[in-house]
Structure 1
Amino acid sequence: MSGTAQQANGLFDEALATYDRAAALHRRIGDGGREALAWHGTGETCRALARADEAAACHRRAAARFHELGDPWHEAVALDGLAAAVRSDDPAGARGHWETALVLLAGYGDQRTAALRDGITVRLVAAG
């Protein structure tokens, strides 16, 4: 079962283990994009467990890797997760991450990106 499926089913410890194995495997074979996806999944799982500091660290790592790879869409997704993770302790930082994510998404016109952009905009407005 994938980490995403495990997380969706409330199997958070199993999801963390799955994401950790995936990150290690993809790092070993040199697939930075999938490694970063695993870090993002770990961040999402840590947020679900109310482990904001760990979530932020994982999302930061994912965003940095996506940036290195020149993948602005996934970088924006990771920044959205990072903003959510730091929002309560660093509202200004969260706003900055969301604003950067919106800039990164500006070049995309598909429906999925529009939904992501709309969600980020709602979160930005709610954050003040």
Structure 2
Amino acid sequence: MDVVLLIARVLFVALFFGSAVGHLTQTDGMAGYAASKGVPMARQATLATGVLMLLGGLSVLLGVWGDLGALLLFVFLVPTAFMMHAFWRETDATAKQTEMIQFNKDLALAGAALAFLWVFSQDPGLTITGPLFSMG
């Protein structure tokens, strides 16, 4: 079962690594998009979320306080869903559908991050450190 969990961790964090690289290497373009969505201090937010995704992803992947990493990714995902993918504000049907898909993807990933938070709190194996938080 440890190998299945390791594969799940790899698949889960792959998305975050790709996004983190974009946030950290294409900051101006991504910050412009974030600003168009109403994100305050968009450049700083873009850099901060890039670091958050990178650190959270590494933590989950390597199992170095994976529970903390999962929590960091959850903290990134929920506000991102509401700020960046507010489908209810769209008037164009295609844009509305695209944003709804992205919103639901972020919420589903947030749910997966919470599941990983719980799994890591149980000290699942194939990790470098034990859990930082105790959940029972």
TM-score, normalised on structure 1? 0.40
Which structure has greater helix proportion? Answer: 1
